[in-house]
Amino acid sequence: MSAYIQNFIKFQPLLGELIARDIKIKYRRSVLGVLWTLLNPLCMMIVLSVVFSNIFKFDIENFPLYILSGQLIFNFFSDATTSSMSSIVSSASLIKKVYVPKYLFVISHIFSSFINLMASFTALLLVMTATRTELHWMTLLAPVPLLLLVLFSLGVGLVLAAVTVKFRDIMHLYSVFITALMYLTPVIYPMAMLPEWLTGFVMLNPITNIVLMFRNVMLYNTFFGWRSLFVAVVETGIMLMIGFWVFYKNQDNFILNL
């Protein structure tokens, strides 16, 4: 175990460089540069707010914020897992030639998605201030569901990255899966709208729990409850363990399939 930790410390600078590279390349050659990280979600949110407060109306108080908060969570999950899925395959040329702990590639992708998540979160706060929504003290608890979400995505990302090395078409299957998953998460519709038989399904989705926790503290000024927290922690823990286990079991074979 200590050998693993030593190895991680040795390659820690690499993690920093990989994350910096992701961010730099994304916004290279644009005048506003890294500022786009913030501007992009902000513009998206403004468009969505305008659309959903004028065209579509569910019977939900403050509907634009309802959607934005749900999207923030789900977009991160979708981004982080999709980009970490291809992380090993796209670093093939490197993995074949230099020894590098391979999980670093997955972690670096999760991390750069996390930076985008922070930007979206800031944008959400800006939109909330602009629409004069009250900011509550409970907002300070928002990092809890976000952190759980990041770790959960890491677990999923590790599994996907390992499986994709062997079966490339998982990438296409996954994009279908993630669309289905989005409709199984209460991002645009309220939970109350669902028929009873479907509610069970939607609650089984771990992202649902996190979205509800996040909305509770951000919009409704209520604590998300110990039960939700417990469920989320257990789900995240299990997913992380599965992720690291699958990845660890397969990592020596990556090079043979790349």
Residue 182 CB, shortest distance to another protein, in Å, is 22
Of the pair 7, 129, the CB lying nearest another protein is at 7
Of the pair 69, 91, the CB lying nearest another protein is at 91
Number of other residues whose CB lies within 10 A of the CB of residue 177: 12
Of the pair 24, 140, the CB lying nearest another protein is at 24
State how far Cα 215 lies from the chain centre.
16
Residue 15 CB, shortest distance to another protein, in Å, is 8
DSSP letter (8 states) at residue 97: T
CB hemisphere CA count around 226 (13 angstroms) = 0
Q: CA of 110: how far to CAs of 10, 117, 160, 197, in Å?
A: 20, 10, 13, 34
Tell me, what amino acid is at 157?
G
The Cα diameter of the chain in Å comes to 58
Of the pair 49, 251, the CB lying nearest another protein is at 251
Of the pair 69, 108, the CB lying nearest another protein is at 108
Residue 14 CB, shortest distance to another protein, in Å, is 4
Task: Please tell me the distance from the alpha carbon of residue 161 to that of residue 153, in angstroms, as a whole number.
Answer: 12
The residues binding another protein (CB under 8 A) are 10-11, 13-14, 16-18, 21, 24-25, 28, 93-100, 166-170, 173, 252, 255-257
Q: Which two tokens stand for residue 237?
A: 């823990």
